[in-house]
Amino acid sequence: MSVRKVSVIGAGFVGASTVQRISEKELANVVLVDIAEGIPQGKALDMKHSSPLTGASHIKGTNNFKHIKDSQVIVITAGIPRKPGMSREDLAKANYKTISAICENIIKYAPNAITIVVTNPLDVMAYAAYKKLGMHSSRVFGMGGVLDTARYKSLLAEELQISVSDISAIVLGEHGDKMMPLINYTTVAGIPIKKLLERDVIDRIVEETKKSGGKIVGYLKTGSAYYAPSAAVTEMVDSILNDKKRLFTVSTLLQGEYGIKDAFVGVPVVLGVNGVERVIELELHGKQLSELKSSTDKLKKQVKLLDI
């Protein structure tokens, strides 16, 4: 049996945390790649030193993209983080060149890998990677909705003083201020959330979910979230490598689903060994569908500005 291998490109906080989580769960051997000399090597060595304590799998830090060869999954986290006052449009222009260069190396060394994009603005960068790689859309997608859903569930659990394990929820749409926590698809052990919380409380939690990422940026000032994003992408990698076929919201190419064409946006999918194995098309009421289409139109405009 061949050794499973995952490569994480970008040795910043999100990338390094993702490597640590994947390694400690022993999902695969992991390669950490970054162009900054010494950074991936140093972080990988530090994690290796923890392996007698954690049982972590093998980790390699490198500046050479040739080491991503034979990876089953590649995770792209490289790029600058959003800073206070920076729009997602500004961030897109800054990170597009990075994504393009990385994709050239993926084509060269690991053309058969499934690629997960974490770099922000996530939906736009996922579309850019898809176009650059020329792969089937089932094998190139973005992480966002898994993280957004986790944040939503965390806030609900805190409000209800109940285990997050009992909460089932879906957040779809863009990974940004226009994300859509679906109240009508939110339950606690099967009980609709509307039976347990007043509507004004639910609305407040929905708004807090939308602002969670920006709130963390505001606190950190020189960076953005990484603990929850790395946990989210690790769950995706687990579902792919172990063919768990879990239902996650990921940013994937829509070609008619929800009335949307040629755009990446977060929708529920089944995630397995072949990547996005099918898109789940939920029944949305009028306002929800119009909001989804509106946010997707905004994403298309951002893509057009990049001239992808």
Q: What are phi and psi of 271, to 5 degrees?
A: -110, 120
Q: What are phi and psi of 161, to 5 degrees?
A: 55, 55
Buried b (16+ CB within 10 A) or exposed e, 70-104: ebbbbbbbbbbbbeeeeebeebbeebbebbeebbe
Number of Cβ within 10 Å of residue 136's Cβ equals 12
Active site residue ranges = 175
Alpha-carbon distance of 54 to 180, in angstroms, equals 37
